[in-house]
Amino acid sequence: MTAAHSSTPLKLLNREQAILEFNRRVLAQAQREDVPLLERLRYICIVSSNLDEFFEVRFADMLDAARDPLSTVTGQDVDRVGRAAHTLIDEQYHVFNEQVMPLLRKQRIVILNHADRDDAQRAWVSKFFEREVKPLLVPVGLDPAHPFPQVANKSLHFIARLSGKDAFGRDNRIAIVKVPRVLPRVIKLPAHLSDGHQAFVLLTSVIRAHLEELFPGRKVEAFSQFRVTRDSDLEVDEEEIANLRHALRSGLTTRHFGRAVRLEVVNTCPAELSAFLLEQFGLPAAALYRVNGPVNLVRLNELIDQTDAPALRFAPFEPAWPSGRLPRHKSIFDKLRKGDVLLHHPFESFDPVVQMLREAVNDPDVLAIKQTIYRTGAKSELMDLLIEAARRGKEVMAVVELKARFDEEANINWAERLEAVGAQVVYGIVGYKTHAKLLMVMRREGGKLRRYAHLSTGNYNPKTARLYTDVGLLTADPDLTADADSVFRQLASLGKFKALRRMLLAPFNMHSRMVELLAQVEAAARAGYKAARVVVKINALTDAELIQALLRTAQAGAKVDLIVRGACMLPPGLPGVSDNIVVRSVVGRFLEHTRVCYFRWAEGDEGEALFLSSADWMSRNMFRRIEVAWPVLDARLRQRVIDEALQPYLHDTLDAWQLGPDGHSVRIGGERGVSAQQALMRRYSSDV
């Protein structure tokens, strides 16, 4: 019986557990013998960073939903996800302690605890503590005049139980010591003290060894590191505020003190101290995470950065300049008048995008530049170029998304700098994040105005363009560039939506068009077209209506391949329901970020459509964000996207995982398989 005729609706996979499953795939990278050792440690750090955001946002939202009587989320759901998180974190520390660290020791890279350090090393650490650390520490003994201090989100602290009485004869036994963020978490010992090793000490170990010095005349009977994770999603009522930028700026100061959702302590923490902390933060026992090691593994990135061991890192890869399609040191505008240029990052360089903007800034015939700003980073040559363009008197419009999570402060700063030089800055539409990636240049040519544009699946961030896979299109196509201009006008004027020539725009018609295309493939399959096909490559699939449309298409006989990097709520492989759907995830050296949607319903160019997009197939992207998707109409470029961004991933047998109907993934192939990313790196290395 198919889902369409079942008396009970198909139960979708849990989104939060799907996110944890993705992080389990990332953690598996740290267990691969074919991955360089320091990179294996980096994957452990990435999992910690991902889990921090999971608790700050997703799990916090889940807790809120469980308290809402109208929500379908139950306390049992929260408990189930919490147990899965505990299991994953326990596994993460096992990989760290039992696999990666012993292998690093064999490479003479060591982290020395106090017990491991010899006399000379202890003397050096003691001097370091006196000189660099102790002056910044302020131990707080708790009493009615010194209540439990404000503990910021993810800040590191020690809790200590002291013997005896304080200097005033009082029996205050508990003290808190904040570890300042300005101090390095990983300190490299001098070579002359390391006996041929690269030896490191953790800041927590330095403080632990000298903790008693902070409490003269008293003994430290018990202690532990601890860290609390808080709900960090900035919430402002956009309908009720006059100035979104000012409201978010003030909200940034309170974000660090949101509701506590997780407490981390070391596994040796006495029960009475962990119980005391749980009480202070108003947390249940299930929110306590006892870890066998540093409570913030993210900061071990500092060890990776300080280690001199090139052989233990990925070999350097330099993105190729598309010289055959875009000659260096020649006008990009001249080239684009002859045809579109497709860029595949990080295999190809992001520099042509920067060069296009730089050329626009320096070209006296360029009258206007418009760009969306989502995640550009605190330092950005692109933003500096926009500021310079405004200084030179060009019309500059910047659509700055102030609510790009955890980039709010950087984006507010850019908005203020752009406004200061006369750029027109808009913040999109109230209640909708502007997630579209668009850059448009307007140039006077022969008495007429001509538009040029860059459309992308990824952010305007040259740093992440070397780490994330994305596809960008440089174009002078009259329809696409007119559409880009219309999107900017829509964001500025807030007028009625008018359908675009080629582009799809969320929240208006992207979702409905994707459903229509799936229905078109479904109809072709029901009519007997054997090659009916859907291939979608996205970061997440959680929208229920799109999932149902995919199921109908597959049940009609069309082959459906989904390449979903992260959370996928569609359970594939269910007999009679989703057995014609294969869901795979690729986790490799680069973060998969490209969004490609391919549909085939008949033979020939007229029987297929391929869209590139900024949007994942999530309800928030389709209905609560400004997103764009655009068709690749040039048959040659369309085939290139298929050959590079889809086919290699469908045949990956090294970095790919296949999702089962129960929500668990199984690795495809083994360590001698074929990697899509590695194949693309080889292809573009030979083009240099």
Q: What digits encode the pLDDT tens for the residues 96-127?
A: 999 999 999 999 999 999 999 999 999 999 99
Last residue of some domain: 480, 499, 518? 499
In angstroms, rounded to a whole number, what is the distance separating the alpha carbons of residues 180 and 185? Answer: 10
Q: Helix (H, G, I), strand (E, B), or coil: what is residue 508?
A: coil
CATH value at residue 450: 3.30.870.10
Element (H, E) at 576: none
Q: Is residue 318 part of a domain?
A: no
In this prediction, residue 373 has a pLDDT band, given cuts at 50, 70 and 90, of confident
What does 281-349 look like in DSSP terms, one character per residue?
Answer: HT--GGGEEEESS-S-GGGGHHHHHH---GGGSPPP--PBP-TTTS-TTS-HHHHHTT--EEEEETTB-
Q: Output the pLDDT for position 503.
A: 97
Q: Which residue has the higher pLDDT, 256 or 639?
A: 639
In this prediction, residue 171 has a pLDDT band, given cuts at 50, 70 and 90, of low
Last residue of some domain: 451, 484, 499? 499
Q: Output the pLDDT for position 543.
A: 97
pLDDT at 613 over 70: yes
DSSP 3-state percent helix, strand, coil across the chain (nearest 5): 40, 20, 35
List phi, psi (to 5°) of 43.
-65, -35
Q: Output the pLDDT for position 390.
A: 94
Q: Is residue 206 part of a domain?
A: yes
In this prediction, residue 24 has a pLDDT band, given cuts at 50, 70 and 90, of very high
Q: Are 429 and 494 in contact (CB under 8 A)?
A: yes
Q: Output the pLDDT for position 378.
A: 73
511 shares a domain with 450: no
Last residue of some domain: 466, 499, 532? 499
Residue 325 buriedness (CB in 10 A; 0-12 / 13-18 / 19+): middle
Q: Are 427 and 245 in contact (CB under 8 A)?
A: yes
List phi, psi (to 5°) of 371.
-150, 145
pLDDT at 466 over 60: yes
Q: Is the dihedral of CA 165, 168, 174, 180 positive or negative?
A: negative
216 shares a domain with 86: yes
How far are the Cα atoms of 462, 471, 499 from residue 468, in angstroms, in the given order?
A: 10, 10, 31
CB atoms within 10 A of CB 440: 24
Q: Is residue 10 part of a domain?
A: no
603 shares a domain with 466: no
In angstroms, rounded to a whole number, what is the distance separating the alpha carbons of residues 46 and 224? Answer: 24
**Which of 664, 596, 582, 668 is CA-nearest to residue 630?**
596
CATH value at residue 308: 3.30.1840.10
Return the percentage of the chain with pLDDT > 70, whole number.
Answer: 91
In this prediction, residue 635 has a pLDDT band, given cuts at 50, 70 and 90, of very high
| Ramachandran class of 195: left when φ > 0, alpha when ψ lies in -120 to 50, beta otherwise | left
621 shares a domain with 493: no
Element (H, E) at 21: helix 15-29
Q: Give 584-594 pLDDT, tens digit per residue.
A: 999 999 999 99
Q: Is residue 93 part of a domain?
A: yes
197 shares a domain with 158: yes
Q: Helix (H, G, I), strand (E, B), or coil: what is residue 650?
A: helix
In this prediction, residue 255 has a pLDDT band, given cuts at 50, 70 and 90, of low
Q: Output the pLDDT for position 31.
A: 97
Q: Is the bond leading into 364 cis (omega within 30 degrees of zero)?
A: no
* Interstrand relation of 559-564 and 109-111 (parallel, antiparallel or unpaired): unpaired
In angstroms, rounded to a whole number, what is the distance separating the alpha carbons of residues 193 and 358? Answer: 50
Annotated catalytic sites, by residue?
Answer: 435
In this prediction, residue 323 has a pLDDT band, given cuts at 50, 70 and 90, of confident
pLDDT at 129 over 80: yes
Q: Which domain holds residue 525?
A: 505-687
pLDDT at 238 over 50: no
Q: How many domains does the chain have?
A: 3
Q: Output the pLDDT for position 1.
A: 36
Q: Output the pLDDT for position 168.
A: 56
* Interstrand relation of 174-178 and 504-506 (parallel, antiparallel or unpaired): unpaired
585 shares a domain with 461: no
In this prediction, residue 173 has a pLDDT band, given cuts at 50, 70 and 90, of confident
In angstroms, rounded to a whole number, what is the distance separating the alpha carbons of residues 312 and 27? Answer: 18
pTM here is: 0.92
Q: Are 174 and 276 in contact (CB under 8 A)?
A: yes
Q: Is residue 253 part of a domain?
A: yes
58 shares a domain with 81: yes
Q: Is residue 7 part of a domain?
A: no
In angstroms, rounded to a whole number, what is the distance separating the alpha carbons of residues 368 and 361? Answer: 9
How far are the Cα atoms of 80, 117, 136, 300, 567 from residue 126, in angstroms, in the given order?
A: 45, 11, 15, 22, 47
Q: Which residue has the higher pLDDT, 508 or 253?
A: 508
pLDDT at 25 over 90: yes
Q: Is residue 234 part of a domain?
A: yes
677 shares a domain with 588: yes
Q: Output the pLDDT for position 167.
A: 58
Q: Which residues contact 148 (CB under 8 A, 6 or more apart)?
A: 142, 176, 280
Q: Is residue 260 part of a domain?
A: yes
pLDDT at 252 over 70: no
In this prediction, residue 176 has a pLDDT band, given cuts at 50, 70 and 90, of very high
For the chain, what is the mean pLDDT?
A: 90
